[in-house]
Amino acid sequence: MTTPNPPDNRPPQVAVTGLGGIAAGGSDSAELWRNLAAGVVRCGPVPEYLFRTILNFPVFAAPQNCLSDRARALLAETCPNFRAESVSRTILLTVTAAAEALHQAGIGAADLRKLRVGIALGTTVGCTFHNEDYYVAWRDNLAPDLAPVHSYLGGNVAAALHRLLGTRGPSAVVTNACASGTDAIGIGRNWLAAGHCDLAIGGGADELSRVAYNGFASLMLADTVPCRPFSRDRQGLNLGEGAGVLVMERQESAVVRGGKVLGRVRGYGSAADAHHPTAPHPEGRGLKTALAQALREVGAGEIVLVNAHGTGTKANDQAETAALAVALPGAAAAAIVSTKGFTGHTLGAAGGLEAVFTLLALRDGFTPGTVGCGELDPGFAVRPLLHSEGRRLSGRLGLSQSLAFGGGNSVLVLEAVV
């Protein structure tokens, strides 16, 4: 293991050396980014390969075959007996994103075996037992075959990825609802800073589930047409599925091994609203605290992009813009966007995917506007970008932020290195 801290006791810089993603809009981060920039929206009825429903809330479904060729090739080396049908769709999405990120980082199967690899992943659906057939049979005293229970016990996403990659090191599945992916990247950063691992895979993954779909419907938070974050006429969210992952290393280690540094995680903050079981604090109290924590190293004035949570619900978008107006006093200078009109709300995956989008926008010096937003809500204290308002970015620092059920708020400060 390398020395955790530089001699002057400053926390080590945490570099991003790989990005990976999969969602409705594409099967890897390059395709996702291309389609986001082009405003391609793949939102429609729930496909039958996921589940049947009589409800009419559209979703953003990832491709039916969500295990990429690159992921299959990696698993052929690390887990030769792997069978895709033996794991959950959430795990398949995770492996696809992780394989892309590791490939980009130049980390192969042999490297993984030599390193202490930390895996921190966020999920919501991926940690639950939602096998309806089993549940109904059990309730009817039919003593169903126990395979679904064992599948559930083998379904911890971080433990499963360790198992499939043959890696050893710290492991955490973050279940902070919609902020899980952001927190998981923050945890990976903290592990690297503390010297707990040599390389960290951080992000999130979630598949679409009938229970979550119905749950959001019953909470009256889902929209019957593609969502319109920050719009005057927004009516709620659409669920989506996917995975987004960063490969992180201490900058010194990445440079020594010849890895290309794509960016850095420059800050992380997390704070509770302590306000209501499901609704955000109306003024974004916890988000303001999380922003202040995350911005301890970087000045608010240096931020040129905010990838907001921007779900398209009335309460979220109001609270989030209220907090940004206070925490980023120069917010007029930063481009504020939501990408959920492109991915849907992917729950535990959202923070991972949005961190990927933030870094890609900062790399290219350009952000697309907010997909789905045609006319802004005039009541906001800051002005997010309309869909038609893609913007050139004049700096390399941005925020990716997430708000969650239960009042959780998490923020990453990300920097692109070009």
Partner 1 sequence: MSNPVAITAALRLTMEHEIPAKLVRELRRADDFIRLAVVGGFKALAAAPPREMAPEARGVFIGTAFGPLETNFQSLGSLINDGEGQISPTLFSHSVYNSAAGYAARLLDFQGPALTVTDYGWPFLIALEEARLAVASGRVERALVLGVEVYSELLADAYRRSFAGRQVPWHRGAVVWVLDRAAAVESRLALLREVEVTGVPCATGDYLTRTDELCRVAGRELAPDRHTLAAVETLSDLVKDLPVGTAGEIDWVCSASFGSASLRLLV
Structural tokens at position 186 = 């923050």
Please select the residue that binds partner 1; options are 29, 176, 318, 402, rule is CB under 8 A: 176
Question: Strand, helix or coil at 63?
Answer: coil
Per CB under 8 A, does 408 bind partner 1? yes
Q: How far is the CB of 86 from partner 1 (least distance, A)?
A: 11
Looking only at the bridges linking them, the beta strands covering 117-122 and 171-174 are parallel
Q: How far is the CB of 166 from partner 1 (least distance, A)?
A: 9
Closest to partner 1 by CB, 19 vs 271, is 271
Spatial separation of the C-alpha atoms in residues 393 and 360, rounded to whole Å:
12
Please state the φ and ψ torsions of residue 408, each to the nearest 5 degrees: -80, 145
Q: Which stretch binds partner 1 (CB under 8 A): 70-78, 171-179, 314-322, 325-333?
A: 171-179
- Over the window 33 to 72, marking each residue x when it contacts partner 1 by CB under 8 A and - when it does not, the resulting string is --------------------xxx-----------------
23 pairs with which residues across the strands?
Answer: 26, 242
Q: Using alpha carbons, select from 321, 317, 351, 318 the residue that is nearest to residue 334.
A: 321
Spatial separation of the C-alpha atoms in residues 270 and 286, rounded to whole Å:
8
What's the start-to-end Cα distance of the chain, in Å?
A: 28
Q: Please say whether the beta carbons of 123 and 173 come within 8 A.
A: yes
Footprint (CB under 8 A) of partner 1, residues 192-251:
193-194, 196, 210-211, 214-215, 217-219
Per CB under 8 A, does 1 bind partner 1? no
Footprint (CB under 8 A) of partner 1, residues 92-131:
124, 127-130
Per CB under 8 A, does 177 bind partner 1? yes
Q: Please say whether the beta carbons of 140 and 76 come within 8 A.
A: no
Closest to partner 1 by CB, 158 vs 304, is 158
E strands, 60-186, are 117-122, 171-174
- Judged by the rule CB under 8 A, the positions of this chain that interact with partner 1 are 9, 11, 53-55, 124, 127-130, 132, 135-136, 138-139, 143, 146, 149-151, 153-154, 156, 158-159, 162-163, 168-177, 183, 187, 190, 193-194, 196, 210-211, 214-215, 217-219, 270-278, 285-286, 289, 293, 404-408
